[in-house]
């Protein structure tokens, strides 16, 4: 199926528990990769938490620090999963619990996948663990998992947008 981008942007939404650690990190990283790939005008990116605990708050300071250390934007306001997120064309869950919640809430569960299922080196059911109660290393590890998964999401998205992968001037396929 090729997405018709003449009507509306393709919508990708990332989902975790409180929307202050994993899903905002993934959404901000993915948004930057979309800009670099020249696709940001064709794709809407959002993120949400399954619960209301942090609605309206900024990302966890450790999330912001890791994003900044890697050159990504840090601006984020937490949201709870709602109809806007659930109507996304692709919903990317961070763990099996989120996957179940979101699949149970949508008519087409095939629109919902685990983020790490796009990482070619990870198991299909691999999760992005919650770093909230741990130390800073956990946030670094989450960033590594997200950065390993995003190229696969971009490849999948290009296919659904009808794009072809092409080498850039350095010879690296984007």
- Bridging pattern class, strands 43-49 and 10-16: parallel
Over residues 110-159, the pLDDT tens digits come to: 999 999 999 999 999 999 999 999 999 999 999 999 999 999 999 999 99
- For the chain, list the domains and their CATH numbers: 10-161 (3.40.50.2300)
Query: Does 113 participate in catalysis according to the annotation?
Result: no
**What is d(CA 73, CA 143) in angstroms, rounded to the nearest whole number?**
13
Catalytic residue, chosen from 42, 100, 103, 130, is: 130
Catalytic residue, chosen from 21, 22, 111, 119, is: 22
Between 156 and 4, the more confident residue is: 156
Tokens at residue 124, please?
Answer: 């299909």
* Residue 6 burial class via C-beta count within 10 angstroms: exposed 0-12, middle 13-18, buried 19 and up: exposed
Contact between residue 87 and residue 11 where contact means Cβ atoms under 8 Å apart = yes
Q: Name the average pLDDT for the chain.
A: 92
Token pair 């959404």 is found at 27
Would you tell me how many other CB atoms lie within 10 Å of the CB of residue 53?
Answer: 13
Give the lowest-confidence range in 5-19, 23-37, 103-117: 5-19
């Amino acid at each position: 199926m090729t997405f018709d981008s003449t009507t509306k942007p393709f919508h990708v939404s990332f989902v975790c528990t409180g929307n202050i650690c994993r899903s905002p990190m993934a959404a901000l990283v993915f948004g930057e990769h979309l800009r670099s790939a020249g696709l940001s005008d064709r794709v809407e990116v959002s993120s949400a938490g399954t619960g209301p605990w942090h609605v309206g708050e900024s990302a966890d300071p450790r999330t912001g620090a890791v994003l900044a250390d890697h050159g990504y934007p840090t601006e984020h306001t937490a949201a709870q999963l709602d109809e806007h997120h659930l109507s996304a064309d692709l919903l990317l869950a961070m763990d099996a619990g989120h996957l179940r919640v979101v699949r149970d809430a949508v008519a087409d569960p095939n629109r919902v996948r685990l983020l790490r299922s796009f990482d070619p080196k990870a198991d299909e059911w691999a999760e992005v663990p919650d770093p909230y109660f741990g130390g800073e290393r956990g946030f670094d590890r989450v960033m590594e998992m997200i950065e390993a998964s995003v190229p696969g999401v971009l490849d999948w998205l290009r296919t659904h947008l009808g794009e072809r992968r092409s080498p850039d001037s350095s010879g690296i396929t984007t």
